[in-house]
Amino acid sequence: MAESISDPACIFCKILAGSIPSTRVLETDRAVAFLDAFPLNPGHTLLVPRDHHANLAELPDELAAHCGELLPRLCRAIKAATNAEGANVVVNLGRVAGQTVDHVHYHIIPRSPGDPIHWPWPQGRTTPEEAARLATAIRAELAS
């Protein structure tokens, strides 16, 4: 197996290495899922690739695909184990978006009616012109 990418200063790398304890629910050769130590709801789980990549935008496609493949099964298990009605799957990217640990991770947050989490976030509006301008800019970035 190729040597894994690790950052000695990263708390999730320490968790993955076992030097900080965690409550693990799933392990593969490339990713680990463990319970969040400060859960938004009981059963709040973090899916974390073993390799250290700072955020989702830096995650190699192959590793993102592996994590994506694990998410449906994890969601089913977490929902069933917590009797939740649904879940939010969230990835925070950057401080401005609430990312506090710079090792990419997916939150799976079980949801039940009346729980303390509030969705939707405040929504805005767009004009056809603005949507067209933004889509053109994003397509150009994707093509570059």
CA distance 39 to 35: 8
Q: Number of residues in contact with ligand 5GP, rule: CB under 6 A?
A: 15
Question: Of these, 44, 50, 103, 105, which contacts Zn ion (CB under 5 A)?
Answer: 103
The one-letter amino acid code at 34 reads F
- Binding flags for ligand 5GP, 30-49, as an x/- string (CB under 6 A): ----xxxxx-------x---
| Site membership for ligand 5GP, residue 115 (CB under 6 A) | no
Segment lying near Zn ion (by CB under 5 A), choices 24-32, 36-44, 101-109, 117-125: 101-109
Residues 6+ apart with CB under 8 A from 93: 55, 56, 57, 99
Residues 6+ apart with CB under 8 A from 136: none
**Which C-beta is closer to Zn ion: that of 16 or that of 87?**
16
Q: Which does 99 bind (CB under 5 to 8 A by kind): ligand 5GP, Zn ion, none?
A: ligand 5GP
Specify the residue for token string 């390799």.
51
